Amino acid sequence: MNMVIAALLALLLAQQPDYSAQGVEALEKKEYAAAAAAFTKAIEADPNDYAAHFHLALAHSLLGDSARAIAGYERVLALKPGLYEAELNLGMLLLEQKQPEPAAARLRAAVEKKPKEFRPVFYLAEALLAGGQPAQAEPHYRTALDLDAKSAAAEHGLARALALQKRLDDAAPHIRKAAELDTAYRDTLLELASMYEADKRPAEAIPLYEQFPENAAARERLGELLIEAGRAADAVPHLEAAVAASPTPANRLALATAYLRSKQPDKAVPVIEQAIAAAPENLDLRLFYGRVLRDQKNFRGAAQVFWQVAQKRPESREAWSELAAMLNALENFPQALAALDKLEALGESGAAIHYLRAIMLDRLQQPAPALASYEKFLGLSGGKHPDEEFKARQRARILKKELSKR
């Protein structure tokens, strides 16, 4: 009888589906949901089947369910401590989920088991770098490159680790190498350009930006750097391209500046007008426009612009100062003096304001207040404006004589 029962049990077991085999087949077909279902059933049949737990975690990972995958790998390691594949996969998942410290612990254990395998070494370096330990990450990146000299990711990682240690000259060749190995890393040359800028080395950033003629943002930045380097004419075509590709108030302003500095003011005016039309509330653009008109001797147009800015930004000393200067140039002395009053009310009390006031009062034939302003100017200037001081002394002497005769 016992033999019969044993035979029946064996028969029943033989007829039960092999859920693990079904799960593996589903994984191979990339049917990850079906694989997860099959491995779940395998675990229900044997909760201690660490292989089924491993494959279920893998299926969850491939389905994008990182939380369940992490929990699954942790269960695997509880059942089978030190399993290399579980440590590696768990470490990579933890790193992906921005948990660098626990990731590094798992990946370090994986490296200890297989120190000549690229993936654990590389991802340990990545975890250390993500955890703010660039110096500790550096030797692991170097080991990874010893194991795979053609890894653009390892080259780039090493470059980042070196750059974070303020070793830009050491980092630069690795950034270039990463871009050489894999075109997907070509944009890292722009990172290098930004690093050179941050390190106050714009001359080394310029040739890097020049390698990206198809990139409007890179050409815009290149144009700005060329202007700063005193090469406004060279900046013009790059900024023209940037504006054509994606016009913004900033790149239009840069292009107008390049035109002005390359002695093409007639081209600057329409560009800045377009920028203002696109951003009518940008008062800094209007101030720039006013100065352009001022430099072209269009004092009336400049005065109108500065007046508009002063009305919208009444606390702007710059707007009132420029307005006063333009009204003076137009010989509209009463309004110019009113602008100076506004300027003084804002706390401006430098020598220049008193000199300009003195000249206008003098022109209006108001000798007493003109003399007072000349004397205030002379008291504040202190030898900083010798030509104006000479003129002020001469006029003050004359005005004193005139007043003494009255």
Instruction: Please write the tens of the pLDDT for every residue from 351-383.
Output: 999 999 999 999 999 999 999 999 999 999 989
Give pLDDT, residue 405.
Answer: 80
State residue 2's pLDDT score. Answer: 60
Look at residue 50 in the predicted model and tell me its pLDDT: 94
pLDDT value at residue 4: 52
Answer yes or no: is pLDDT of 5 > 60: no
> What is residue 174's predicted lDDT score, i.e. its pLDDT?
98
Q: What is the reported pLDDT for 109?
A: 97
Region of 250 (left: φ > 0; alpha: ψ -120 to 50; beta: rest) is alpha
H or E element that contains 146: helix 134-147
Average pLDDT over residues 236-261: 95
**Could you report the per-residue pLDDT of 185-203, keeping only the tens digit for each?**
999 999 999 999 999 999 9
What pLDDT shows up at residue 17? Answer: 81
> What does the mean pLDDT of the chain come to?
93
359, 369 in Cβ contact below 8 A?
Answer: no
Q: What is the pLDDT of residues 12-68, one digit of tens each?
A: 445 568 999 998 999 999 999 999 999 999 999 999 999 999 999 999 999 999 999
Confirm whether pTM is higher than 0.85: no
| Residue 342 reports pLDDT greater than 50 | yes
Which residues lie below 8 Å from residue 284, measured CB to CB, with a gap of 6+?
Answer: none
Q: How much is the pLDDT for 11?
A: 45
Q: What is the pLDDT of residues 198-219, one digit of tens each?
A: 999 999 999 999 999 999 999 9
pLDDT of residue 6: 57
* Number of C-beta neighbours around residue 212 at 10 A: 18
Query: Positive or negative CA dihedral for 227, 230, 232, 233?
Result: negative
DSSP 16: S
Q: What percent of the chain has pLDDT over 70?
A: 96
Q: For the segment 64-117, what is each residue's pLDDT rounded down to a tens digit?
A: 999 999 999 999 999 999 999 999 999 999 999 999 999 999 999 999 999 999
134 confidence band (pLDDT: 50, 70, 90): very high
Separation CA 99–CA 112 (nearest Å):
20
Is the model's pLDDT at 137 over the cut of 70? yes
- pLDDT, residue 16, reads 61
